[in-house]
Amino acid sequence: MEAPASSDSAVAVLRAIGRGGFAYAQTKELARAAGWNLVDDEWDLGYLRFDIPFAAGQDPPSSLVIEVQESGRPPRAVVTLFYFEDYKVDRGPFDEAFRGLAAQLVGVLGAPAQCGEYSYPHRAGWSYSYASWSLADVTFVLVQDELDIQFGMDVSLWVLPAGAAVNVPVSGA
């Protein structure tokens, strides 16, 4: 999967979802207005999943999962932007995808507030990069991770409420 170019319009909708507190009804309305395809509407489980074109002409689209406010868990969203399956061979494409996506997000959001690396005990000698942007309406965190290792490692963009502490890995927070 090629790393997509970031989309100003997708970022704008994600910010609006965050400003709305990740509320179920408002999130669905904003996504519908953006033309995003609703894949899972799991009110009972507290989440929505959409296929979204994070970049113009992107095929296949990115997957956006939103933990809605009404779930009783901390509201947040994640957009998986890049999958990397060949991590046993060469991590170069994984790092290049992260750097390219980070640079594109800098063009949309400005300089990140934080950048760094973290690691997992089960993968000694392997670091994961992250960059975060703390904005007035949301916090974005671009992160290399292994959110769903059956698809490989990934580069994902997390959307957290404004002022949220950035703890990595985000998936375990």
Q: What is the pLDDT of residues 48-58, one digit of tens each?
A: 999 998 866 66
Examine residue 3 and state whether it is found in any structural domain, yes or no.
no
Examine residue 71 and state whether it is found in any structural domain, yes or no.
yes
- Residue 122: which domain range? 8-172
Examine residue 72 and state whether it is found in any structural domain, yes or no.
yes
pLDDT of residue 135: 97
Residue whose C-alpha is closest to residue 165's, from 103, 74, 81, 98: 74
Examine residue 1 and state whether it is found in any structural domain, yes or no.
no
| Count of structural domains within the chain | 1
Task: Calculate the CA dihedral of residues 29, 30, 34, 39 and round it to 10 degrees.
Answer: -60
Examine residue 69 and state whether it is found in any structural domain, yes or no.
yes
CA angle 89, 127, 166 (to 5 degrees): 140
- Residues of the chain falling short of pLDDT 50: 1
Examine residue 143 and state whether it is found in any structural domain, yes or no.
yes
pLDDT of residue 31: 96
Examine residue 67 and state whether it is found in any structural domain, yes or no.
yes
Examine residue 2 and state whether it is found in any structural domain, yes or no.
no
pLDDT of residue 86: 66
Query: pTM of the prediction?
Result: 0.91
